[in-house]
Structure 1
Amino acid sequence: MLTIRPMIALSLIVMVLHLNAQTLPHLLNIWSEKNPIEKVYLHIDRENYYSGQDIWFKAYFIADFLPSYSSSSIYVELIDGKGNVKKREVFPVFLGVAQGQIGIDTTNTSGVYTIRAYSPVMLNQSNFLFTQRIKISGKKAEIISKSKVGKLHLDFFPEGGNFIEGLMNNVAFKANDENGVPVNVSVTIKNQRDEIVLQTESFHDGMGSFSILPKKGEQYYAIIGGQHYPLPLSTNKGINLQLKSFTGKIQFLIDQQGNDSVFKPSYMLGQMQNRVVFRQGFKADKTKFSGIIQTGSLPSGILQITIFNIDNMPLAERLVFVNNKEYMLPAEITFDTLNTHKRMYNKFNLQLRDTVNGNFSISVTDADFENAQPREQNIYSWFLLNSDLKGYIHRPSWYFNNTSDSIEKALDLVMMTNGWRRFKWLDVANNIFPKTKIKDNGFIKLSGSATIGGTKKPFAEKELLLIISSKDTLNKTRRYTQILTTDAQGKFFIDSLVFYGNSNLLFSDVKGNNGRVIKVKLDGDSLMQSYEIPWNENWNDLPIKEEEEVLQEKMSLAYEQDLKNIDKTLETVTVTGKLKPRLKELDEYYTRGLFSGGIMARGIDLSQEGITGALNIFEFLQSRVPGIDVVKIDAYHVFYRKPVVLRVFNAQPGEKVPESVLGSVPNEMNLFLDEMPVSIEHLTTIPISNLAYMKIFPTFTGSAGGGGDGTIAVYTKKDFEVNKNIGPNFNMVSYRGYSISKEFYAADYSNLKTVNGREDNRLTLLWQQNLYINEVNAKIPIHFYNNDRTKTFKIVIEGVTNEGKLLMLETTVR
């Protein structure tokens, strides 16, 4: 048993005792300020899927226990058991969150897969990326069989890292099979004379501990099932470190064997998330030290405690989990309507306490197609445990189910049998830190060079028009128009772009100078980069339990039945519906915000008008649109007057417009291209064959001064035939933007007419990812309709507040 001497209260304020001891915390804190540990967690809708389904997710980023806004992109991958990346998607990150889906191809076979997620800056420490195992049932349905327990691996971990003879040592052990899965064992410890020293057994998931007093010259080994496993060799040099955790404090005992000055403890450091949180110096005339480390004011998570000598050499180290529970956001689920009958309406409420400001996500799934136990990992276990430890931790969410003494003891065994390896103290002492090789690009970054067509002459110090338009007909995201400025070498750069799907980048001289063609060469793709990431070959080889095997059989049968229902429905389906008017359809498809709707606005379908004779949009306006005056001098001028008499005045360059034409010289109309302000010169360069829709507003609040002089909004085609219609002045480059985030389909059976003949066997009944709350004592109503077979609902709600509190609710109801 650990005996504690009179306690010494430790201050959490960093104490400066001498210059050398000050160096380590100073160097580490400076480095961590520049390179904070960023973590990402994915709340996915469930853990079991069919081939052909979507995996819905919401990603949460944190750093220094708060939401992190430093990353602009997240990469989400689906990886098979051999480490092959089967699917890779990239989504933008806004204010520390991202959302989307990753589709499972219908060709994917049954098996265990891994979801891996990361931002580029996380690859500077690639061993700490987010990973989540899922199971997929596919067309080539092979029941995932249980792996046989092969050769047993037994490892020993002396507390503090040293096995010191002549002193009482605490030793933890961990037993795993060849796949890394824990195996509970009974252990007999013997010495070299085959005498039994002690007997013990694992406490949880193959982990356990025992106390032993090694004798000089003796060797020890463990026996399990007739196999011998040697303990570490003891040494007569070094220090023995023992820690014991209590609520709000940690007791410590340090004992040195001998009086060698090299192993004389000089000070103790504690760090969390690469930041030193306390420092304690020791008197030089002692060999034993004991005391208390106050932890009640520390954030919850892994605390690394290290003992150093006067030359900053680590002598002993130990991890401790601090659980002050301040990270938990109090919440509960209450039901207003619970009905598990076919296609019936359900309503529950998320009840929060106090003021809550944060992002959250909700999933409701069929519990009969989920594992009976809680999820293997959740937002608590990932952010506070897995993300800081290397190696496999079996069912980490279990350690956050409650706060019983048995769970705390088991969690301490996790601390003793896993190591912190984000940095090495010797490297810190020598000011050697991992280099930051990858930096965040700030969303999509475009850089390159522009030259004048037919020459090698740079298009130098000029304005370059960039139009970004989607090639995907189903992508309803807006188009972008940007003005770039080249330098003396014709180079340009722009970042912070956000566009989606396969896109065309159209470059042109802003002034459309005499039909001059500009050739553009991009430097590279800043978004779809390929990174080399180490893969743990055993990660997907972890076996499943018998109850999980039964679930996989059930999933495979349900998948085959669902395929039959789809085929049957497709044979008999008849599509009917009322078509929307063409202009209304165009307005909904192209316009957003203030540009949409408008009682007095007039829309014009440019794709179906007879405009073949018009060179540009202004020639079309001259001949087709009453109510607008177009005057051409050295350039076009567009006016909106009441009453309007169309006048076209062709003048020589520099000639003034006669008073009889302009009258009182009204202000010109406001012009927008793809809802971005644009000049007449810019708009003149756009071939009219590339325009899809035009909208004319007598007044428009989105224009300067309220738009009382009239406004014209013009929209380029989203998927125009680039090879035919881009015009001679444009240089086109294909570019893949961010993956398109789809909208989750939530069935609505409020109207019985919507019921069709196909069976509704959805596994995910509700996925709500855009839940942002900023209220006091918020009560958030959640609605969904059941499918045709679910009798038990599994509800999971997770999220992060702006103060860094974590929400995790998981329950099943029937």
Structure 2
Amino acid sequence: MAVLQTIKKSVFILSAILLGAMIMNNDNLTEKVKSNLNSYQLYYTPEKIYLHHDKPYYLAGEMIWLKAYILGAANLEASPKSGVLYVDLINDQNQKVDNLILPIEEGEAFGDFLLSDELPEGVYRIAAYTNWMRNFGEEFFFQKEIYILSVQNAVATKNLARQTDEIDLQFFPEGGDLISGIPNEVAFKALNNKGYGTGVEGEVYDSEGKKVLDFKDHFLGMGSFVFSPEASKKYVARLNLKNGQILDIPLPQAKEKGYNLHIDEVTDPDNILIRIRSNQPEASNLFLFGIARDRLIHSQGIALKGLQWQDFLVPKSEFPTGVARFTLSDPLGNAFAERVVFINHPIKEIVEIQTEKKVFGLRDAVNLTISNKSITELSHLSISVTAEELVQMPEFQENIHTYLLLSSDLKGHIEFPAYYFESNDLERQKALRYLMMTQGWTRLGWETLVSGDFPVMRHANEMDLNIRGRLLRTNGSPVANGEAILYLKDKYTTFMLTPTNNDGYFSFRGFYFKGSIPVVIQGSDSRGRKEDVVVEMITEDYTPTLKDHLLRLPSQYSAQAPDKYIQQTQQQFKGIETEVWGMELGELLLQEVVVEGRADVFQPFKLHTRADAVLYRDQLPIAPSGNILEVLQGRVAGLQVTRTGMNEFRAIIRGQGTPLYLWDGIPISESTLQSINQFDINRIEILKGLGTAGIYGGRASGGVIAFFSETGSSTEDVDPEAGKHIIIHQALGYNGTRQFYSPSFDVSAYYDLPDLRSTVYWNPTVMVKPNSKTELSFYTGDIPGLYRVIVEGITKDGQPISEVHLFEVNAIE
């Protein structure tokens, strides 16, 4: 008896020791996870970007209007990390066809692309990112497909690749592995040859040819089945394709030993049901962690006694709306199973959209009221209004709510993301569950989190424009601890000095200007010597490569563009050109807003956005007559320059007559050119025809020759031939932004032509204060039918806002 009592006492003591060790290990691992997450948020802080643009497809020559929201990935509040946004337009050959550099203010930026009318038809993508985001990989970038139509290739739109019977069927055991001898839920996803979900049904057979079960997808090729595999057997899924072919696809091999993590987030509206099973006879000490938005929300230790399972509940109220990850590990942090779930709390309506009536007439005034029904502060909202007859939005398309809370945290393309949020019925909850079981997680990986081995920060965060370069010796070695001087003749004549680091790199920070400006950079070594110093500027031409994490257009979407879209948009182009050519130049020269920054750089005005030819001063010969027109002889195709008298010349572009001459955006006469000093000119831009010069109206019927002075950026005292230690560098600034033009039919004396605009209103900076409303006004066009109003934004505390309102326009009111 005494021996038995001693044994019982020993077992009790051993159990207590094990329990104490488990608690200690749990505390250690939990604190380690918390500490690493805090460090990640504090020092790394990845960002998310969402882009709202007006339409899913455009005709070459149209304008893309866009608004970007730049947010912290964890809290979805305005990111303090970045002040510069890059937006690239990339073709299907991964070539950048246009790009924007935009200033970020309070987590917002807006701009526009003027599409070249020579772009070939096809699928393009818009990529938006900051320099800081490059540290975490391109899967964090916002990348979205758009379709660009072309008049020349209009027929090709319908000639899309035919759908085939090819199916890619993938299996995803819940938790990561199939475990022998216990029930396993296996999710699956079937994709067609274009990578879109497709319906599928089949059977599962074991290696002995015995049928185990039947399965069928629930939504878009996604579903699941449950069975208890044996490690000694192999299993295949058999599909009977429409073409009569039988396709056998192997399932993952079951493991002899392991742990199974089963999660049911659908059955109980208030709790997440979790079951942990093991096929091992020995007891195990395990730990479960629940992480969301880079915060440890839930952690607990689990003592699993042999061939048993444990069930427990985790309240959904502990988690924010969005994607959460559960990880099952041992005391050392080795993961056994993982599962992502979506926590879908009810959405509170914050913004309401109203119009004073439901039906309007053609060219009718619309008064739109946007109300903030909460005490919450909002970002500037972005608003687009499009005519449904021309702009057919994809069904259940991506919006700021679906992207920030769902798509941006998962790998791969998600079809119809808004479907999962349209209602909270059981069918959609199940579909969302299968989505979470078949999509990968893009956020911080578990192994990285436990080890604290975070990515090396190779790209600095940019709060403003930087001019970067490097000082080298003539033999290629870096000039360490040297000095770079930047000279900029603005209205204050600015000099800036900065040292080089040990590798010779230097950076001038704090610039805020639009367009491009020439600056002088001079270098010297640590002793002030310049003879053996070479200045090299860093002008990185970076283009994101095509990745799987891309917001794709729906299958066959390009064929769904209305046939009349090209025809009516083209007619609208012609109408605008006719209207503009009838206007006087003074009615068009509306100065765009130029934000001045620390350097207070002078920006000459220009209305056009691109020129047919640009000549810089260093490309021009000396004019013997002193007349600047003389240097243009034979320099530009289609431009003829002839002598008309002593030191007098005349220019004609394509035989169209006398061009419009501009000096820093101001019209001047041809005779005035004789008094312009050639060395006061920075560049000359030639606009040959309607496509580029039409914006200047009837006075530009002969084209435009625009001269830009060196004011604000004079470099006449610089002699680049004096040595490689001093150079003239053309620094790129922010892109200018245009204001959306919406005609006012009650006052316009010009707009007698058809108004066939597909986008009738765009505004990226609408402010609505808490418990208040803002009224906006615009006019409908000549397109009858439904008009769609889309309002997007985000609250200051990180709640996405996406609202849609429809109204009707009748030809006869």
Give the alignment's TM-score, normalised by structure 2: 0.72
Change in 2 beyond 3 A, CA 1:431/1:314: same
- Tell whether the 8 Å contact from 1:40 to 1:59 is kept in structure 2 after alignment: yes
Change in 2 beyond 3 A, CA 1:487/1:282: closer
Q: How much does 1:154 deviate? A: 0.4
Q: How much does 1:340 deviate? A: 3.9
Q: Does 1:785 align with 2:779?
A: yes
- Tell whether the 8 Å contact from 2:57 to 2:146 is kept in structure 1 after alignment: yes
Q: Distance in 2 between matches of 1:417 and 1:586?
A: 53
Q: Distance in 2 between matches of 1:110 and 1:283?
A: 61
Change in 2 beyond 3 A, CA 1:557/1:718: closer
2:759 aligned residue:
764
Cα RMSD (Å): 3.9
1:72 aligned residue:
83
**1:578-621 deviation line (CA, Å, top 9, x unaligned):** 689xxxx999999999xxxxxxxxxxxxxxxxxxxxxxxxxxxx
1:100 aligned residue:
111
Q: Distance in 1 between matches of 2:763 and 2:593?
A: 24
Q: Quick one: which amino acid aligns to residue 189 of structure 2?
A: K
Pairwise mapping of residues 578-597 of structure 1 onto structure 2 (< 5 A)?
none
Q: How much does 1:164 deviate? A: 1.5
Match of 1:139 among 135, 151, 157: 151
Q: Quick one: which amino acid aligns to residue 63 of structure 2?
A: D
Match of 2:181 among 157, 161, 166: 166
Gaps of 5+ in 1: 1-13, 452-456, 469-478, 510-516, 594-686, 692-716
Q: How much does 1:302 deviate? A: 0.7
Q: How much does 1:414 deviate? A: 0.8
SS state of the match for residue 377, structure 2? strand
**1:292-334 deviation line (CA, Å, top 9, x unaligned):** 11221321111010000122110011000011246x5522211
Match of 1:425 among 428, 446, 455: 446
Aligned length: 647
Q: Quick one: which amino acid aligns to residue 33 of structure 1?
A: L
Pairwise mapping of residues 361-400 of structure 1 onto structure 2 (< 5 A)?
361-371=382-392, 373-374=394-395, 376-400=397-421
**1:663-708 deviation line (CA, Å, top 9, x unaligned):** xxxxxxxxxxxxxxxxxxxxxxxx9x979xxxxxxxxxxxxxxxxx
Q: Distance in 2 between matches of 1:149 and 1:239?
A: 41
Q: How much does 1:372 deviate? A: 5.3
2:626 aligned residue:
none
Change in 2 beyond 3 A, CA 1:219/1:41: same
2:28 aligned residue:
19
1:308 aligned residue:
329
2:735 aligned residue:
739
2:709 aligned residue:
720
Match of 1:37 among 24, 27, 46: 46
Deviates more, 1:126-135 or 1:408-417: 126-135
1:356 aligned residue:
376
Q: Does 1:748 align with 2:744?
A: yes
Pairwise mapping of residues 351-500 of structure 1 onto structure 2 (< 5 A)?
351-359=371-379, 360-371=381-392, 373-374=394-395, 376-446=397-467, 466-468=488-490, 482-485=494-497, 494-500=508-514
1:641 aligned residue:
none
Match of 1:175 among 187, 190, 194: 190
Q: How much does 1:539 deviate? A: 6.3
Q: Quick one: which amino acid aligns to residue 755 of structure 1?
A: Y
Change in 2 beyond 3 A, CA 1:231/1:780: same
SS state of the match for residue 792, structure 1? strand
Q: How much does 1:96 deviate? A: 0.7
Q: How much does 1:780 deviate? A: 1.2
Match of 2:537 among 503, 507, 524: 524
Q: Does 1:505 align with 2:519?
A: yes
- Tell whether the 8 Å contact from 1:345 to 1:783 is kept in structure 2 after alignment: yes
- Tell whether the 8 Å contact from 2:411 to 2:439 is kept in structure 1 after alignment: yes
Q: Distance in 1 between matches of 2:757 and 2:169?
A: 44
Match of 1:251 among 273, 279, 288: 273
1:55 aligned residue:
64
1:282 aligned residue:
302
Q: Distance in 1 between matches of 2:115 and 2:314?
A: 50
Change in 2 beyond 3 A, CA 1:460/1:199: closer
Q: Distance in 2 between matches of 1:369 and 1:278?
A: 49
Q: Distance in 1 between matches of 2:81 and 2:264?
A: 37
2:668 aligned residue:
none
1:194 aligned residue:
209
Q: Quick one: which amino acid aligns to residue 251 of structure 2?
A: L
Change in 2 beyond 3 A, CA 1:221/1:285: closer
Q: Quick one: which amino acid aligns to residue 143 of structure 1?
A: T
Q: Distance in 2 between matches of 1:48 and 1:564?
A: 20
Change in 2 beyond 3 A, CA 1:270/1:96: same
- Tell whether the 8 Å contact from 2:289 to 2:300 is kept in structure 1 after alignment: yes
Q: Distance in 1 between matches of 2:435 and 2:548?
A: 22
- Tell whether the 8 Å contact from 2:482 to 2:499 is kept in structure 1 after alignment: yes
Q: Distance in 2 between matches of 1:312 and 1:724?
A: 59
Change in 2 beyond 3 A, CA 1:592/1:306: closer
Q: Quick one: which amino acid aligns to residue 58 of structure 1?
A: K
Change in 2 beyond 3 A, CA 1:87/1:348: same
Deviates more, 1:137-146 or 1:305-314: 137-146
Q: Quick one: which amino acid aligns to residue 575 of structure 1?
A: M
Q: How much does 1:541 deviate? A: 8.6
**1:729-751 deviation line (CA, Å, top 9, x unaligned):** 79853212111122111222121
Q: Distance in 1 between matches of 2:53 and 2:423?
A: 23
Q: How much does 1:467 deviate? A: 3.2
- Tell whether the 8 Å contact from 1:58 to 1:97 is kept in structure 2 after alignment: yes
- Tell whether the 8 Å contact from 2:50 to 2:404 is kept in structure 1 after alignment: yes
Gaps of 5+ in 2: 1-22, 241-245, 473-478, 524-529, 598-676, 682-705, 720-726, 809-813
Q: Distance in 2 between matches of 1:15 and 1:323?
A: 34
Q: Distance in 1 between matches of 2:591 and 2:181?
A: 84
Q: Quick one: which amino acid aligns to residue 55 of structure 1?
A: I
Q: Distance in 1 between matches of 2:532 and 2:789?
A: 55
Q: Quick one: which amino acid aligns to residue 742 of structure 2?
A: A
**1:201-224 deviation line (CA, Å, top 9, x unaligned):** 111111011111224533222222
SS state of the match for residue 709, structure 2? coil
- Tell whether the 8 Å contact from 1:27 to 1:431 is kept in structure 2 after alignment: yes
Q: Distance in 2 between matches of 1:740 and 1:155?
A: 47
Q: Distance in 2 between matches of 1:464 and 1:174?
A: 58
2:582 aligned residue:
574
Q: How much does 1:466 deviate? A: 2.9
Q: How much does 1:358 deviate? A: 2.1
Identity %: 25
2:475 aligned residue:
none
Q: Distance in 2 between matches of 1:193 and 1:458?
A: 72
